[in-house]
A and B are shown apart, each in its own frame.
Chain A
Amino acid sequence: SDADQLRQKLISIKSLHAQFEQKVTDINGKTIQNGSGIFALSNPSKLYWNLIDPDESLIVANKDTVWVYNPFAEEVTLFSLDQAVASSPMTLLIHRDNTTWSKYLVVKKDQCYGITPKIAEGNVTKVTACFKGKEIASFSINDSQGNVSLFTLSEQRELSPEERSLFDFVPPKDVDIDDQRPQY
């Protein structure tokens, strides 16, 4: 199935380090947000998304915890990986288990895979991952208000050994920690 093909492609990416350009357009096609930064992932279940320009924001997923660091708000928010998939579906790119993937419908069109939640959860209506051969070329997030957030990747390469530490996030001292993970 298209879903199996996509998951195979994702699993075949052992690790990735890339530059990204982000452009968000609203329902009328106006650019309402843009930025650029570094995107990295390491299979299984490690992801690093660091917006650098115009200012810094950081998402790090490592095994089952996702840290969202927002320097402007002086705050770090923690989510479980499952929670994060609904709010930042990029984490689906590193999610392995069948139960999570079973909640999504995957349809392939040319080099792109459209991933739509079977039951709408939150604002995201579709995530699209496009490939150039084995490499992820771009991914985009569509929401129910007609926003399209497009991340275009470039300079894709494997992670170097010392870049493994990218996924070990330690919150800075003077920030609020908001732990949203479900307490067992």
Chain B
Amino acid sequence: CNTLPKTELVPVHVNQITDAKAWEVRGKILIKTADDKHSTNLYWRHTATSEQLALTTMLGTSVLNLESTPFGAKLTMDGKDYQSKNPEALLLRMTGWSIPVSLLPSWITGQTQQAEHLTRDGQGRPRQLTKIIDGVKWQLTYSRWQTLNGIELPKLLTLSRPNLSLKIQLNQWQALAVQGSK
């Protein structure tokens, strides 16, 4: 019979977002710079020890794939692989987009613990926050919320810094866990 390898992650139900040690999202991202805009489909898989970001065209072909672990990051674009210790620096060098890879997993799931100047909406959900990263001021705005698999999550958020803005829409979210673990 076809037994899944131990580390295979499978969908699991969680009662609250903080219980999800690993998850994946599918949605869309619009990256606007001063002179250009790129819109792709977005897939993000977050685990305790790794991040995977896959951007694809409407028809499903790959735009880029970024995988990072504590040991380093690998970016695949146009059939070529690039390596670096730091995923943010690698993405910036190869695409010109500075995307806060380390903070995005918590932000796209509405977890905004280490933020400055956080405002909340009428239902107590984060509305807007600012965060200084490497001397650059980022502003994050949540404009729509939704419930996916029983968890309240952002539907639409915009993250911007001087001459770069990211609009991210989440369509699907799924918590993951190792097969058979609690």
Q: How many residues of A are counted as interface, with CB atoms below 8 angstroms from the partner's CB atoms? A: 30
User: Is residue B46 contacting chain A, with contact meaning CB distance below 8 A?
Assistant: no
Complex interface bits, A26-40 against B, C-beta within 8 A gives 1, otherwise 0: 100010111000000
Q: How many A-B residue pairs have CB under 8 A?
A: 78
Question: Within the complex, what minimum Cβ distance (angstroms) separates A141 from chain B?
Answer: 6
**Contact status B61-A75, CB under 8 Å:** no
Q: Which of A2-10, A49-57, A110-118 forms part of the interface with chain B?
A: A49-57
The answer to whether B58 and A55 have CB atoms under 8 Å apart is no
Instruction: Report the bound CA distance from A147 to B60 in whole Å.
Output: 7
> How long is the Cα–Cα vector from A158 to B20 in the complex, in angstroms?
47
B127-138: CB near A (< 8 Å → 1, else 0) gives 000000000000
- Enumerate chain A residues within 8 angstroms of B43, measured Cβ to Cβ: 26, 30, 32-33
Interface size class of B (residues with CB under 8 A): 20 to 34
Contact between B172 and A123 (Cβ–Cβ < 8 Å)?
no
Asked if B28 contacts A149 (CB within 8 A), the reply is: no
Residues of B within 8 A of A149 (CB): 56, 59-61
Near A by CB (< 8 A), chain B positions 91-109 give: none
B117 to chain A, nearest CB (A): 28
Q: Is A145's CB under 8 angstroms from B65's CB?
A: yes
* Contact call A55/B171, Cβ cutoff below 8 A: yes
Per-residue 0/1 for A57-100: is the Cβ within 8 Å of any B Cβ (1 yes, 0 no)? 10100000000101011010000000000011010000000000
B-chain residues with CB within 8 Å of residue A55 when the two chains form the complex:
28, 169, 171
Query: What residues on A are CB-neighbors of B57 within 8 Å?
Result: 87
Contact B169 A51 (CB under 8 A): no
**A143 sits at the interface (CB 8 A):** yes
**A54 and B60 contacting across the interface, CB-CB below 8 Å:** no
Which of A26, A30, A51 touches B58 (beta carbons < 8 Å)? Answer: A51
The answer to whether B56 touches A33 (Cβ under 8 A) is yes
- 5 A-B pairs with the lowest CB-CB distances in the bound complex, closest first: A149-B60, A73-B39, A24-B60, A54-B171, A32-B43
24 A–B contacts from the bound complex (CB under 8 Å): A24-B56, A24-B60, A26-B65, A30-B45, A32-B56, A33-B41, A51-B58, A54-B26, A54-B27, A55-B28, A55-B171, A72-B30, A73-B37, A73-B39, A123-B62, A124-B61, A141-B59, A141-B60, A141-B61, A144-B62, A145-B62, A145-B65, A145-B76, A149-B61
Which A residues have a C-beta under 8 Å from some C-beta of B? 22, 24, 26, 30, 32-34, 51, 54-55, 57, 59, 68, 70, 72-73, 75, 87-88, 90, 123-124, 141, 143-149
